[in-house]
Amino acid sequence: MQPTALLPMRVTSFRPGTQPRFRLTERQTLANKLLAGQQKHILLRGGSRSGKTFVLVRALVLRALRGAGSRHAILRFRGNAARASIWLDTFPKVMRLCFPGVAWKPHKQDGYVELPNGAEVWIGGLDDHERVEKILGMEFVTLFYNECSQIPYASVLMARTRLAQHIVGLQPREYFDCNPPGTGHYTYQLWKEGRDPETGRHVDSTLYAELGMNPGDNRDNIASDYLSTLESLPDKQRRRFFEGEWSPEIEGALWTLDSIDRNRIEARHGSTLDSLLESGAVPSLKRVVVGIDPSGASGREGERSDEIGIVVAGLGTDGTGYVLADRSARLGPAQWARLAVTAYHEFRADRIVAERNFGGAMVENVITTAGPNVPVKTITASRGKAVRAEPIAALYAQGKVCHVGRFPQLEEQMLNMASAGYVGAKSPDRLDALVCALSELMLGPQHSFSSQPFRL
């Protein structure tokens, strides 16, 4: 996967008398005090857009300005996410709003920012082996694991060996932030249960501190309709992105938030496939399919209680599957067929793959009516939903499937699929469409389906 091209960062000149143009919210002030405390390992967890990353970057810069010649690292799991989110967005925003009179200079080729006192802030991804070797060849006094729900604990332990720089007046610190994943994640084990994920032994609780920060605490800085969007998310997603709490994981779950998060590729709202390909966030795709689950579809317009699952996925030249879109909707046959055909053209797909168990010939007919020249393959599910989902869940566990962005309703269904069956409400139509698409791309018809090519 090619890294996103780095753009020049703003170099701010010193302006006498310049005052910061940012004021901490009440909750951010509390977080700021915690970050200045005695604990060595500090976690800020909470909902989306609650200001966690902003506060942590601000605290890290304050430490850097206090320690001449000190080194600090901001690490994400993926290098392109670190560049897009921190290098090009949060860091310059923090400097502009909180330190407008401080000159800072980017060294984009090496991946660090230099402050006037010689302190350095390194920004990188743990998937970039060359950059990791460079970073881990140095010692640091601060390590910040951004979106740590995506970072394996083994990577944290590896980076921790470099938390060894001696700077007078600065104690070594590890900062973490995340939208809380499931209760099986190491963040829950360390900060809530007080035990080491590797050994199960109790950790020294005096070294650990955590604070919840939610979007409602930051409502002055975000749009009100965004809060409404978060409130309306499915249960597990709402608990995570709005309430900022860890979610219980069901027994025998095929997917966990950790397994989905670890391979997620962040995509800005409105990103197109072309922009993702050009940036290198997604590699060239060998094949793209639109998977459809119309099970239980009524032959009459609009008469259905479940949704039609419509999921777009591609197979990269790197052998990884990429989930590109979830276009599922509760529509009548003619409308969902048009929606699927539109997705086929938008993502330049090779074909539409649809289950025909309940829809019969109607499935084929409505698709070809909406798109007469669209290649269609119909498949018959020969085994149960959980059995068909298991090999796809195994691909996620192996890191062979990436979500390009977030798909709350789809991911909610994934989290409710267990080896014993689906425990969510209604039918997992979105998940069935996902399994259909990824099976076609990565497993072949012999795994869970019997296929029947449809001839135009």
DSSP assignment of 108-159? TTTTEEE-TTS-EEEEEETT-HHHHHHHTTS--SEEEETTGGGS-HHHHHHH
Run of H or E residues at 378:
strand 376-381
Distance CA(355)–CA(379), nearest Å, equals 5
Axis crossing angle, helix 52-66 with helix 26-35, rounded to the nearest 10: 40
**Residue 43 backbone zone (phi > 0: left; psi -120 to 50: alpha; other: beta):** beta
Residue range 257-454 in CATH 3.30.420.240: yes
Per-residue confidence (pLDDT) for residue 2, from 0 to 100: 33
Q: Name residue 144's beta-bridge partners.
A: 74, 175
Structure tokens at 212: 């919840």
Q: Are 335 and 298 in contact (CB under 8 A)?
A: no
CB atoms within 10 A of CB 384: 12
- Per-residue pLDDT of the chain (456 residues), as tens digits, is 333 322 233 333 334 445 555 678 889 999 999 999 999 999 999 988 899 999 999 999 999 999 999 999 999 998 888 988 999 999 999 999 999 999 999 999 899 999 999 999 999 998 877 777 888 889 999 999 999 999 999 999 999 999 999 999 999 999 999 999 889 899 999 999 999 999 999 999 999 999 999 888 888 778 878 888 888 888 888 989 999 999 888 888 999 988 898 888 887 766 788 888 887 889 999 999 999 998 654 444 444 457 899 999 999 999 999 999 999 999 988 999 999 999 999 999 999 999 876 555 678 788 888 878 899 998 877 668 889 999 999 999 999 999 999 999 999 999 999 988 998 877 899 999 999 999 999 996 544 444 443 332
Per-residue confidence (pLDDT) for residue 247, from 0 to 100: 87
- Which SS3 state, helix, strand or coil, does residue 454 take? strand
Distance CA(127)–CA(362), nearest Å, equals 46
> What is this structure's pTM?
0.77
Q: Of 71, 165, 59, which is closest to residue 117 (Cα–Cα)?
A: 71
Structure tokens at 147: 């979106």
Q: Of 131, 129, 30, 34, which is closest to residue 73 (Cα–Cα)?
A: 131
Structure tokens at 388: 């068909």
Distance CA(446)–CA(451), nearest Å, equals 9
Positive or negative: CA dihedral 20, 30, 153, 400: negative
Q: Of 105, 7, 8, 98, which is closest to residue 60 (Cα–Cα)?
A: 98
Per-residue confidence (pLDDT) for residue 22, from 0 to 100: 67
Q: Where in the chain is the domain with CATH 3.30.420.240?
A: 257-454
Q: Where in the chain is the domain with CATH 3.40.50.300?
A: 26-241
Domain 26-241 class in CATH: alpha beta
CB burial string 197-229: b at 16+ within 10 A, e below: beeeeebeeeebbbbbbbbbbbeeebeeeebee
Question: How many Å separate Cα 402 from the centre of its chain?
Answer: 9
